[in-house]
Amino acid sequence: MRWLVIATVVCIAGCALLIAFGGSRLMIAIGIVLGGVAFVFVVSGAFYAVGRSEDRDRAAQARGPDDPAG
């Protein structure tokens, strides 16, 4: 999960820098694309976190209430 946060921050920083300092249309387009990729990373990270939470919940229910490991 840490790599996803780092990748998102890098994409957002790159997006901001390219849009702020890029004078050409190509640099602005690349900045917008990086912003879109960052958004996809954020959404996928949210779904990943929810899925992991559900997996842990199912594993805890499968162990049962009397299991000392839970």
What is the band of 70 on the pLDDT scale with cuts at 50, 70, 90?
A: low
Q: Is 25 exposed, middle or buried (0-12, 13-18, 19+ CB in 10 A)?
A: exposed
pTM passes above 0.75: no
Whether residue 1 contacts residue 44, with contact meaning beta carbons closer than 8 Å, is answered with: no
Whole-angstrom distance, CA of residue 23 vs CA of residue 29: 11
| Identity of residue 42 | V
Chain mean pLDDT for the chain = 83
* Per-residue model confidence as pLDDT tens digits over 20-42: 887 788 888 888 888 888 889 88
Which whole-number Å values give the CA distances from 13 to 8, 35, 36, in the listed order? 9, 9, 12
